[in-house]
Amino acid sequence: MTEFSFTCTGVRADRYAAGPTLVFRLRVTTADNARVHALALRCQIRVEPARRGYGSAEAEGLADLFGERSRWGSTLQPVQFAQVSLMVPGFTGETETDLVVPCTYDMDIAATRYLTALTDGEVPLLMLFSGTAFTGDAGFQVEPVPWDREAVFRMPVATWREMVEQHFPGCGWIRLPRDTMDALLAYRSRHALPSWEATVQALLAMDRGGPPAHDPLRALTATTGRTDP
């Protein structure tokens, strides 16, 4: 059986992708300079949060995921980041290829919440490989890529932030159920609010006990002194 080893040599944000995307650079090596006709890989990527330290601000941002710092000895468990497939063309001995990983800024996803809470430093990742190899010098044979193949990599937090800023500059994203979206849209229409930001600001103002921001009636009162629309 062919002996494979994997190394991640770098990562970059794909600025030309339609959505947030990271591109990891992989080096694949075979023992004894073996010939590989093709390699069908599956790669599971996990965040291993216990393999780095955290500042007080980061710890506060991670409380929803892992609880108070005093509990981290039992709660700081691996977080699923991505699972992707990759077809590696034929090579002999060693090759390098790109592993393209589509990402999300959905704050309901644990990995996104974790990455958003980090302010600097690196993200400890573990890449787990499996799949099927087509090998052989004369003809070819089919053999599995063992499940114990893995690679560790420390991704700069700055790379993640660069990727997010390319697609969501200065913004966040929240997924809401359809009925909640319908209720928000109705509220926005009733109050003639110009944007979703204005809608949320109006609701926040009401929560603080003040009049809704961008309230048309308040604006009319301010400019005419009348309270009737």
**What is the pLDDT tens value at each position of the chain, 229 positions in all?**
889 999 999 999 999 999 899 999 999 999 988 899 999 999 999 999 999 999 999 999 999 899 999 999 999 999 999 999 999 999 999 999 999 999 987 767 899 899 999 999 999 999 999 999 999 887 789 999 999 999 999 999 999 999 998 887 777 667 788 898 888 888 888 888 888 888 888 888 887 775 554 554 444 344 334 444 4
b/e sequence 91-116, b meaning 16+ C-beta within 10 Å: beeebebebebebebeeebebbbbbe
C-alpha span between 50 and 126 (Å, rounded): 12
Beta bridge partners of 152: 126
- Given phi > 0 = left and psi -120 to 50 = alpha, else beta, which region is 121? left
Do 196 and 188 touch, CB atoms closer than 8 A?
A: yes
Sequence-ordered list of residues with C-beta below 8 angstroms from that of 194, at least 6 positions apart, any chain: 214
